[in-house]
Amino acid sequence: MLNLVIFGPPGAGKGTQSQRVIDQFGLIHLSTGDMLRAEMASGSELGDQVKSIIAAGQLVRDEIVIALIAKRLDAHAEAPGFIFDGFPRTVAQAEALDHLLTEKHTSITGMISLVVPEEELVTRLVKRGEESGRSDDNEETIRKRIVEYNEKTLPVATYYQGQGKLYEIEGVGSIEEIGDRIAKVLKAFQAQ
């Protein structure tokens, strides 16, 4: 199986590049951001619980996102592989993911980490906010999300680096250029 984590700060292009990887490599896309937004849109109890957390730029509780991922892994038992987008976002989530995959006799192949400077992130997300109206895409919340990322999420890169699985990719350039950089790494995985 090819199991990838696509990683980076808010607005790094994780969702954008995941779409290209799915098209090229046929992996199942598991985006915790999309799952949480679907819960909010459905008006479920869980959706109501997470709405204010996301609007404040904070991370949703580990137990909630781990349960969402576990459910999806079970639903796609025959998949050729997964791309985890926006998950894991804490070391506790990374440990839980390793545990879930070990139970399925598989593991993470590698982490693709998109490196993008902060001001570029803010510019991208403010623009998206103007177009989509997403409650967390305004400058004040974006800055909070970046602080939350630096404090709680960056250590996840160190976690995978310790396993020899971290691949850093320059995340500035056209969507195609970045996609080509990622595809080169993934083809090397497939050749192994």
Residues binding ligand B4P (CB under 6 A): 8, 10-16, 32-33, 36, 54, 59-60, 65, 86-87, 89, 93, 124, 128, 136, 145, 175, 178
Nearest residue (CB) to ligand B4P, 105 versus 154: 154
CA angle 77/98/44 to nearest 5° reads 65
Taking the C-alpha atoms of residue 166 and residue 114, their distance in angstroms, rounded to an integer, is 11
Residue 124 CB, shortest distance to ligand B4P, in Å, is 4
SS3 string, 26-75, reads CCEEEEHHHHHHHHHHHCCHHHHHHHHHHHCCCCCCHHHHHHHHHHHHHH
Annotated catalytic residue within 20, 51, 72, 134: 134
C-alpha dist (Å) from residue 33 to 36, 122, 150? 5, 18, 18
Residue 31 CB, shortest distance to ligand B4P, in Å, is 6
Residue 163 CB, shortest distance to ligand B4P, in Å, is 19
Residue 191 CB, shortest distance to ligand B4P, in Å, is 26
**Catalytic residue at 89?**
yes
**Catalytic residue at 20?**
no
**Catalytic residue at 128?**
yes
**Catalytic residue at 145?**
yes
Q: Which residue is nearest to ligand B4P (CB)?
A: 33
Residues in the chain: 192
Annotated catalytic residue within 20, 51, 72, 128: 128
Going by their DSSP bridges, the two strands 28-31 and 81-85 should be labelled as parallel
**Catalytic residue at 72?**
no
Q: Which residues of 135-174 are buried (b: 16+ CB within 10 A; e: fewer)?
A: bbbbeebbbebbebbeebbeebbebbeeeebbbebebeee
Q: Which residues belong to the active site?
A: 14, 89, 128, 134, 145
